[in-house]
Amino acid sequence: MRIFTATEMRDAEALAVKGGISYLELMERAGTACAEIIFERICENRKNPQITIVCGKGKNGGDGFVIARKLAESGYSPCVVLALGTPVAEDAVQMLAKLPELFVRVLRLDKNRDAARSAILKADVLIDALFGIGFQGVPNGDAAEAIDLMLSSAAYKIAIDTPSGAESDCGDVSGACVNADLTLAISVLKPVHVLYPSRAFCGEIEVVQVGVEESFYKDAPCFARTYNEAEVRALMPHRAMISNKGDFGRVLSVCGSRRYAGAAVFAAMGAVRSGAGLVFAAFPDCAYAAIGPQLPDTPLILLPSNMQGTFSVAAIPELLLEMKKANVMILGCGLGLNGDTREIVKTLLQNAEYTVIIDADGINALCGNIDILKEAHAPLILTPHPSEMSRLTGLSIGEVQQNRAEIAKSFARTHGVTLVLKGANTVVAEESGDSVYVNTTGNSGLAKGGSGDLLSGIVAGFVAQGVPDAAAVGVYVHGLSGDIAAERLSKRGMTPGDCLDALPFVLSKYE
């Protein structure tokens, strides 16, 4: 699925208009489609619900007028509140003019304040058609009052296209914002639906198709893309009945230390459970008691360790030999950071001839010596969390979080890598990509040590099997495993081990 900014959306609509659909017809289709969903999902399950539609003066308000008309035609008695006075958009004016024919009650917040306030506060269902994708800044005056009233209402809240108060293109929420139970995204997803903090105000999201041909969108540039289950299923390669472990790739995991034994386990098992044919787990010999017994499915490569409980530089010759047996490498999970591990990271990257997934201390080893990336001749996938990204770029964590998509895209282009910026709605940027992938699976239960190690293993397993767009698909599947674990065990109580256990059930969808 593709994600469009306001400008990109308007350009696509302009193409539709050139194709013979008027803006008035687009509004009619959007409002009608939304009304059908509201009727099917909400109204028919409630007896005579009191429905209030809060409308602005632009096209979003026009969609609200169409919804009111369609609900009235179906036998309901919706009330329309004009929060900002009469509409100014020409097509919205025409839609408002049709309401008196159906005896729809229309109130103005500035002139019928008490009645309008009551209609909002006492509603069973509130439909937010105040602001659309063009909103920027902070709501004030009557707009702020309308949003505060909606927030004070106990009604089930449905936002049309965007929750009012959220900026569509960047996801910022600088003031009051409607906290929707359901957001109906018109035609396509927008950044507001996938970026935080705005995503948290959207509730459940349903894309509403309004009958506009896909051709008006498929060739248009877009801000970002995301995946759904069907799209991921289509990317998963078939596993032939007659096959052997060599057909599904070989992963070398260079991870772990005495202090961070679990990282090596999660990285290796993530690759195993995601379907890699063979996974070699290389780790310091001093950590065998903690790591070895937990990896019965993988060949173990015990290598010299130093006094700090990490790999010693003496491990380099054997690591270089082991590299020749694999076609994907995981480097850095729980590695520890010292002179030995920095030298190991540098040497392995200089000699790698296939994809390397670099995480945790593998990333930290690059800080201050970022040119190592340019010395590498193999495809690299970096998976930093915001703090590691801050160290890589010299930006503050706040700066990284404020503009995740553009920062990820810029870093990927500059350094010739695939960048997986982890966090709420993980962003994946590729060296040559004009847009980014924004993930829509996962939850706060994944914010625990070990989750990133598991992700590295999953991505490596998918690379080994030749899954297209393996980094983005890995992020999607990892998040979905977290969602299953949270559903079974709660976000607070789930662990990365629970996500690992859930992984086979997620992958069973794609057999």
pLDDT tens track for 26-81: 999 999 999 999 988 876 677 789 999 999 999 999 999 999 999 999 889 999 99
Tokens 């997934």, located at residue? 357
Q: Which pair of structure tokens corresponds to residue 479?
A: 């998040």
Would you identify the CATH topology of the domain 229-235+248-510? UDP-N-acetylmuramoyl-L-alanine:D-glutamate ligase (3.40.1190)
Rounded Cα distance, 281 and 58, in Å: 60
Q: Which residues contact 132 (CB under 8 A, 6 or more apart)?
A: 56, 58, 59, 60, 63, 160, 161, 162, 168
pLDDT at 229 over 90: yes
Claim: this prediction has a pTM higher than 0.85: yes
Nearest partner of 133 among 109, 168, 107, judged by Cα: 168
Check residue 7 and give left, alpha or beta (phi > 0: left; psi -120 to 50: alpha): alpha
CB contact set of 176 (below 8 Å; sequence gap of 6+): 139, 144, 147, 148, 151, 165
Q: Name the segment(s) of the chain with CATH classification 3.40.50.10260.
A: 2-223
Task: Write out pLDDT tens, residues 99-120.
Answer: 988 889 999 999 999 999 999 9
Amino acid at 314: A
- Closest by alpha carbon to 21, among 237, 210, 271? 210
Q: What is the pLDDT of residues 319-329, one digit of tens each?
A: 999 999 999 99
Q: How many angstroms separate the Cα of 472 from the Cα of each of 224, 326, 361, 419, 434? A: 12, 22, 22, 10, 15
2-223 sits in which CATH class?
alpha beta
- Using CA atoms, how far apart are residues 201 and 13, in angstroms rounded to an integer? 26
Separation between Cα atoms, residue 435 and residue 433, nearest integer Å: 5
Q: What is the enclosing helix (H) or strand (E) of 420? A: strand 418-421
pLDDT of the residue at 21: 85
Instruction: Measure the CA–CA gap between 45 and 54, rounded to whole angstroms.
Output: 22
Name every residue whose Cβ is closer than 8 Å to that of residue 98 and which is 6 or more positions away in sequence.
65, 69
- What residue spans in the chain does CATH classification 3.40.1190.20 cover? 229-235+248-510
pLDDT at 284 over 70: yes
Whether 55 and 64 have beta carbons less than 8 Å apart is answered as: yes
pLDDT above 80: residue 212: no
